[in-house]
Amino acid sequence: AIQIIAMSGDLDLSGLFEEQDDKIYKTRIGSKNTAQETIKKIEAAATDVTISVERIKHFKVKIQPKEIRSRSSYDLLSAEVIEVTPTNCVIEISKRRRVKTKHG
């Protein structure tokens, strides 16, 4: 069933995979790669831009700006890769707005 849904490019199912609470916005996307390959692709993409990726767990990473400038707020992201089948996974991306205080 997941493969059929994944192959249906004209279906917009994003409403089924998004949640939002007061402070955290979550979305889920599918990948046709293994969980390990997907984590490596996330880490490789970070080297091309000004973000850092830190592994929290085996298949979970924290993503944040390398430099926090004088902006009053910025987004903290985390991505958790969940294996569905040996060659398919779901990436749950969480975004939280971080407000910078005077002390840090």
Domain residue limits, the chain: 2-99
pLDDT digits (tens, 9 = 90+) for 29-86: 999 999 999 988 888 888 777 788 888 887 888 887 777 665 566 678 888 999 999 9
State which amino acid sits at residue 66: K
- pLDDT, position 81: 92
What is d(CA 2, CA 8) in angstroms, rounded to the nearest whole number? 10
- pLDDT, position 45: 84
What is d(CA 10, CA 25) in angstroms, rounded to the nearest whole number? 24
**Of 35, 57, 53, 31, nearest in space to 44 by CA:** 53
- pLDDT, position 48: 74
Superfamily of domain 2-99: Kinase associated domain 1, KA1 (3.30.310.80)
pLDDT digits (tens, 9 = 90+) for 1-31: 555 555 555 555 555 555 555 578 889 999 9
- pLDDT, position 77: 83
Query: Please, what is the end-to-end C-alpha distance for the chain in angstroms?
Result: 47
What is d(CA 55, CA 79) in angstroms, rounded to the nearest whole number? 10
- pLDDT, position 69: 62
